[in-house]
Structure 1
């Protein structure tokens, strides 16, 4: 992640094996500078690594059930937040916590404005921020059986319209 956006996220510092050694929630100033890492360790090329020297948490964790129960019930029973309490706590007691570089499309949609802007981004011309129609990266979802969308006296541009909608 670049420096401009990094202050809005929980950041991870990693060692040369990609192991998380530090976690800082929305750092600024000197604390932000201290969270810079060599992101080539996780697979970025030299040029992109210079542009994106921070590793932000997406809030997605892969963890075994037994380890999760141990962390939540035994090690950190008073914790309220996984990213800012449990992950840093696990690293502080010597647990092996690894980072994984996801270098595809991702947006934080934690506010109404961010959710709205992310949805508008899929209508951008000539190339949207994310395409649901890329054959090399199919999207799988639970099928729903809704009626087709219906447009009644409507002028529509730059839109994605889901099944079962009535546009008046």
Structure 2
């Protein structure tokens, strides 16, 4: 086998908060019909890399069900497969959760040895991008590299959010700094690595840190040892949808013109594959209208949808409006309710005459101001919003929470629990 792809898909995604209460971050719906993981899986399929290992950990049920045998991505071939790997007990009786990115790979080192690939491609399952990994592999071979790291140029004012590499004129890495205050370069790590298998195994087996991480431990050690470590520069759209703000932005990027920003979902030469539901076509009624939006199968639109993304099976009744919002599967928005800049999880009921995302008060969320401060309100799965309720800005309504019929006003910055 030439190359084995190992996809890290076990992260909880705590900054996605309510959206990752009952699912792992890569399993969060995206762009209506997809999941976040679909972009990485489709990149592998389009790159003709069919030997895949998916490393899961936190709340893997939704993700496991979505992946199945890997058929939508053509992974269920005679001589290839997708393997789901979870933390497991070792022969010495020792077992633990994955503690870091490299620790997760180290815990499955016997799997790599059994497969005997020449190269190991390590990927994150929670980024939105389209990339041909063969171009990176060609760079790796041409440089006679032992490790190649995918990097993307970022604005200098954003370098403090990333691991930053300094390289020479041949793209060989000469220094690396994690989230520097004053960066020497604008080349940010994308968390995508190609290792020579023998080198990867050597470093994983030699390093004893419990929280073993590629960025913190493995890459700095290889640079210190003057190993052949190079970069591959990627210059197209890439987004880490790890926050409510970036998640909403990346979804809404998709409904802009593809030459301006975002990913072209209609490119027949690089399709994004997924496990689709069999639902009826979209129905737009006599009173319905849709402007600059993505609307998936099974939706019934009698109101107005503008600059929004609707997952399969969403209903928008007469007189209702949905603006600048992301609505997950099978949510029902009743008559004359108005939604603006909200993210709503699956199977939510919005009663008649509600105002969701209402007003100009941008008080940050009191419990989690670092997550909600720019006006987005979020409603968890299977929540019922009673008729006439008013939900203002930066509000968190947790899964299955109930609004008191006597107090239907949820003010900006509040959190409502079950």
| TM-score, with structure 1 as normaliser | 0.72
CA distance in 2, matches of 1:153, 1:128: 31
The SS at the match of 1:149 is coil
CA distance in 2, matches of 1:162, 1:132: 18
2:252 equivalent in structure 1? 120
Cα displacement string for residues 30-63 of structure 1 (whole angstroms, at most 9, x for unaligned residues)? xx2xx23xxxxxxxxxxxxxxxxx1000111122
The Cα shift of 1:24 comes to 0.4
Q: 1:62 to 1:93 in 2, by over 3 A?
A: same
2:310 equivalent in structure 1? 161
Determine which structure has greater relative contact order: mean sequence separation of CA pairs < 8 Å that are 6+ residues apart, divided by chain length: 1
Q: 1:163 to 1:66 in 2, by over 3 A?
A: farther
2:264 equivalent in structure 1? 132
Q: Show the 5 A alignment for 1:13-162.
A: 13-29=166-182, 32=183, 35-36=184-185, 54-74=186-206, 76-78=207-209, 80-124=212-256, 129-135=261-267, 138-147=270-279, 148-151=297-300, 153-162=302-311
What is the RMSD computed on CA atoms of the aligned residues?
A: 2.5
Larger Rg belongs to: 2
The SS at the match of 2:252 is helix
Counting helix residues as a fraction of each chain, which structure ranks higher? 1
Does the 8 A contact of 1:9 with 1:56 survive in 2? yes
Counting strand residues as a fraction of each chain, which structure ranks higher? 2
Write out the 4+ residue segments of structure 1 that deviate beyond 4 Å after TM superposition.
125-128
Does the 8 A contact of 2:258 with 2:264 survive in 1? no
The Cα shift of 1:13 comes to 0.5
Q: Which runs of 5+ in 1 are unaligned?
A: 37-53
Cα displacement string for residues 50-98 of structure 1 (whole angstroms, at most 9, x for unaligned residues)? xxxx100011112233322222121x23153212321111111121111
- Number of aligned positions between the proteins: 146
